[in-house]
Amino acid sequence: MIALPKPGATRRWEIPDHLLTIEEYAALGETDTGFTELVEGRVVMSPSPIADHNIVVFELGQQLAGQMPSHLRVLPETDVNLGLAPAGKPGFSRRPDLLIVERAGIARTRRDGAMLRAEEIAVVIEIVSPGSKRTDYHVKHDEYADAGIPHYWIVDITEPVSLVACHQAGEFGYLDASAVTGTFATDVPFPVKIDLNALLD
């Protein structure tokens, strides 16, 4: 494995000069220039989100936490190894706004120090920002489907706040439901109701 520079207190994080594996990306640690993701081995920087985005992440997390079955947990902004590349090849890692994840997956990361894996995720949630619309609706949509994550919810905070629920439909990838406003209710992967209007109240 190639040794990569780590962020230091007196210098900026250095952009790698080659495509990274998941292991190399994880070894970078946190950057001092914002959130990052890994797309086909390329480090992708993300700008700091606006206040409304963070409010929605918090409020949605609160609503979900109160309805979560005991084997699941909601997590904000946590790296996920999408498993879209063989070991040792340029990898894919995303940091969704919210995750609903198996507690067993969290326990595994505590034991081995590795990232969460796509197969440990029940629902991945992205909050659409002005600069992320195409990425959230198309690019991440396809990546999360290819990774086998069963459910993907896209929350658009443009008034009125809406939610598009996508679920795996076999070889076709995700099947997308119509956008919902007001109250989103579903029985899969667990019974839940979300008051969308309250997310920016």
- C-beta of residue 124 within 8 angstroms of C-beta of residue 155: no
Out of 35-44, 86-95, 189-198, pick the least confident. Answer: 35-44
- Check residue 31 and give its pLDDT: 63
For 15, other C-beta atoms within 10 Å of its C-beta total: 13
Q: Looking only at Cα atoms, what is the longest distance across the chain?
A: 50
Contacts 24+ apart (CB under 8 A), 77-80: 77/35, 78/116, 79/26, 79/115, 79/116, 80/115, 80/116, 80/117, 80/118, 80/121, 80/124
Question: pLDDT by residue (tens digit) across 42-55?
Answer: 999 877 788 999 99
pLDDT band at 10 (very low <50, low <70, confident <90, very high): very low
Q: Evaluate if residue 161 carries a pLDDT over 60.
A: yes
Percentage of the chain beyond pLDDT 90 is 77
Domain architecture of the chain: domains with CATH: 51-81+92-200 (3.90.1570.10)
Contacts 24+ apart (CB under 8 A), 144-148: 144/82, 144/94, 144/118, 144/174, 145/173, 145/174, 146/82, 146/84, 146/173, 147/82, 147/83, 147/84, 147/92, 147/118, 148/83, 148/118, 148/119
Handedness of CA 51, 191, 107, 146 (dihedral sign): negative
**pTM of the complete model beyond 0.85:** yes
For 112, other C-beta atoms within 10 Å of its C-beta total: 8
pLDDT band at 93 (very low <50, low <70, confident <90, very high): very high
Interval 110-133 mean pLDDT: 94
